[in-house]
Amino acid sequence: MHDPASKPPFNPSIQVSPNNPCPFLRGLVGEGFVEGGTVPLGKLSETIANATGETGLKKASARFQVRGVALIANGLGHVLKSIFSGAQLDALRGGPLDKLGAGSRILGVDGKVNEDEIARFAGYGRTYTDPNGGSEQGLNASEIDVFMRDNLKRAGSAARWYYPLLMKFEWPILLKIIGKGTGEDRYLSVGDVRTLFNERQFPARINQLLVPPVLSTCQRVVRGALKLAALLIAIGLVALVALAEFPNQIRAMLPQKGILVNLLPPPLPAAPAAKAAYWLDQNWSLKDRHWFHHTSQGTATFPVPYEWFMALEQPRLRLLSKPGMMKDSAYLERFGFIPSPQSIQTDTTTLRRYGYANVYETTQAPDWSARWTPAENVDGLPVGFARMTGVTDPATGRREEDKIGLTCAACHTGQIHYQGVDIRFDGGPAMTDLKKLELSTGLSIAYTLYVPFRFNRFADRVLGPDSSKADRAALKQKLSAIGTFLIDWAKTQQKTVEGKKTWNGRQQQDTEEGFGRLDALNRIGNQVFSQDLALSGVKGFEKNLHAQDAPVSYPAIWTVPWLKFAQYDASIEQPLIRNAGEALGVTALLNLSDAYPADRLWRSSVNVRTLGWIEDMLRGPDPFKSAEPKFGGLLAPKWPSQILGDNWKLDQKKVENGRKIYAEMCSGCHLPDISTPAFWSSSHWEPSGDSKVLNAVTIPQKEISTDPEQSLVLSNRIVDVPSFLKVNTADLQTWWQCEIPTASKSPNEMVYALGLMTVVDLVARKWMDDENVPEVERAKIWNLARKNCLNPAPDPRYRARPLNGIWATAPYLHNGSVPSLYWLLKPASERPTRFCMGRRDYDPGTVGFVVSANEKCKTGETEFSATGSDGQPVQGNSVLGHSFERKPGEPKRDGVIGREFKDDAERYDLIEYLKTL
């Protein structure tokens, strides 16, 4: 019930600001229903909703509409003030709702009424029968519409594009509130309009509606609950819009440790379109290059079958559109991957767009891969993605769906950007961020399961739109099991790592790998000695997990087949063990269960024969079998001065100066230029079977003093294996006649290096047994002259490889801690301790990436930092060592490998020469 006694009396003394041009709002102020200044949105919306006479949901809708209009009435700059204080009714003039002369012009800017304009308004109407008796002048809806359109015409160029929209919320609403009659006969009385403008007074019937009802306690509780529900719904809608349109900003505001932040996809840098792209000539044909990019080595890196991955959507929330697909090349490029054509058997325009057209001035090298199993890329995935077909479960022997995995090329294919041009080369360090790809894939699965409508779209793609409910339910159950395993495993890994210490007694925690880095050794250990056991149903070996705290830059792999020891720490000699271990680490299928017949143990999906083909293509012919020794196979890329313009031209005078500096300061460790006789006659070439291998200089870690973490992983990490596997590291001595002991002190607990070497050896032998590989082919695949034995060096050390192609391997040092050659040649204490990585332009002057003081990373870039937020050194991220700072007469000391440079000119001379290698 409305209580007439509660109606405030009309008070003509109440002043209304001329800067309030809305007649209805002027009436509310003049009648004393609201204040004349700032009115809370709740009170304003409730008062106007009362005036409509609506009830229930219609009234709630009216309140919501009024709030929305009032929120922006004073302009976008006042939105926050409107939210917290309310609408400023005395500051509406000039705001978004003021049509600035394109309206009725009844009310002047001084707040005075123009009777001529009221008469003009009346001229658009006719005589109507008053429901209360008699007749009067008025306008119905269509007549009001004509009046408003004529107002716009009169305003001419002063009218704005949005004025017609505003007019839908002005006179028509006034008609709805104070009009008389019903339906098409409802009209707005000119007399009521005159009274409203002149006396700021509503008809009596409206005053009664504006008086708030006296509510019972129950009604107040219900209204309060409805308001709370509306508020929660509004907050939810705002949150949904924010998550859909501004996920990166929302993620940045959340605590970076916890559940909420992990529900949003990691930010990714933008991948601007390149105006041109070029693959550099490296002695491979286009066919060989494409084969290397997409041939499967037997890995199932992604936790879902190939067709499922093709059906997954990106982990983005969209309000008005569907998100893109995970498989979209443009999306995967934002993780650092390089686009690749479906086939090289296509038109030249397409090939050139991918940098694949024959831009070389030389003739094409002969095809190696033509004799091997072809590799396809029918879905146009980026470089490094491969489809594994003919898959069988190693434990059950059951035929499985095709899998999708990463190849060698995913981590060992490089690309630099310069002023919109992409320069690409094989064998170089990738600029990918696999951690972000892992997180995004897991979130895509979670979103598919829990975001409305996504699973149905996923099922349509995988099973077809006409698939049965039973098939869809089975598909969802399988996908849910995968999602549950991923979540549980992430929790297990985090909990295990939190309970462990590093070798130096610090709490273990992951070091961000970021773009261009990966802790491959610890990842392989976690995969083989923990997750593979869990996937085989063997429990209790989560204890083998270790933090990913020794990330390194992806190493260049040209020339590597001819190096005796390939890794940064010179740890593995046997090429097949090196390559098969990598395949296991990138998640090959592997049976480590005793629940099946014993002859299935160690069976895997690793394709040893393909790994041999890849090694052959990288290695090329024996360099010592030609008249003048030289490398074949994959060659290091040459400095692309012929492609990139004047800033890339070599200064021959500087080159010659730099050549002398190199001979003085670098060649003692890194050996002379590979194109010189001095390189090929070096004493570091050792006999290996009927050929030779280069036993590159290795330097004790203490002496070189670069970050020690990678050199300590294999020797300091201890792993435990179940007894039924019978992993006996002493077998290495029997199989390979190693020079140093290989036996473990415990039957089941062993040094990681010995355990990994033995396990990978067993996997490779099992594959050859299952495939009935003849002894002659086995000997070729094994390259028996290269032993699977520990490096006999007595202490942790790093290898100094030849510097051919060094220009294409930034950032520098094994852990990617130095952004350019320029900074590498500065004293270690002067190097930047933080810089950003992602899709950044290359600098041909400093040869690497420019670093500016206090630079802030762009959205999606990752920050390399030598120190954490607590000011303590970050494990694995030291920028020290390999320093040029010894002064004349100063004795040699650890971490300093050369004299200080005279000046930057001398540094740039050496850099100019290094570009030519």
Q: Give 295-311 pLDDT, tens digit per residue.
A: 999 999 999 999 999 99
Please write the tens of the pLDDT for every residue from 446-459.
999 999 899 999 99
260-264, 374-378, 416-420, 809-813: least confident range: 260-264
Q: How confident is residue 214, by pLDDT bands cut at 50, 70 and 90?
A: low
83-87, 110-114, 193-197, 410-414: least confident range: 83-87
Average pLDDT over residues 784-801: 92
Average pLDDT over residues 317-321: 78
The confidence score (pLDDT) of residue 362 equals 56
SS3 content of the chain, % helix, strand, coil (to 5): 45, 10, 45
**pLDDT greater than 70 at residue 914:** yes
**pLDDT greater than 80 at residue 360:** no
Q: What percent of the chain has pLDDT over 70?
A: 97
Between the ranges 59-73, 108-122, 203-217, 353-367, where is the mean pLDDT highest?
108-122
- Between CA 351 and CA 353 the distance in angstroms is 5
**pLDDT greater than 90 at residue 489:** yes
The confidence score (pLDDT) of residue 334 equals 95
- Between CA 339 and CA 322 the distance in angstroms is 23
Token look-up 């900003």 returns 249
CA dihedral sign, ordered 618, 623, 625, 627: positive
Q: How confident is residue 13, by pLDDT bands cut at 50, 70 and 90?
A: low
Average pLDDT over residues 113-119: 92
105-109, 704-708, 731-735, 875-879: least confident range: 105-109
**pLDDT greater than 90 at residue 216:** no
Pick the more confident residue, 10 or 755.
755
Question: What are the contacts of 364-367 at 24+ separation with CB within 8 A?
Answer: 364/285, 364/286, 365/283, 365/284, 365/285, 365/288, 366/285, 367/285, 367/287, 367/288
**pLDDT greater than 90 at residue 358:** no
Mean model confidence pLDDT for the chain: 90
**pLDDT greater than 60 at residue 10:** no
Please write the tens of the pLDDT for every residue from 836-856.
999 889 999 999 998 988 889
Pick the more confident residue, 18 or 310.
310
Contact yes or no for 802/562 (Cβ under 8 A): no
Alpha-carbon 501 to chain mean position: 30
Q: How confident is residue 163, by pLDDT bands cut at 50, 70 and 90?
A: confident
**pLDDT greater than 60 at residue 241:** yes
Tokens representing 763?
A: 């996997």
Helix (H) or strand (E) holding 404, with range, is strand 403-406
Q: List the one residue out of 569, 620, 282 whose CA is nearest residue 425.
A: 282
Average pLDDT over residues 677-697: 95
The confidence score (pLDDT) of residue 7 equals 42
Average pLDDT over residues 243-259: 74
Average pLDDT over residues 623-643: 93
**pLDDT greater than 70 at residue 361:** no
Residue 144, class by beta-carbon neighbours within 10 Å (0-12 exposed, 13-18 middle, 19+ buried)? buried
The confidence score (pLDDT) of residue 103 equals 85
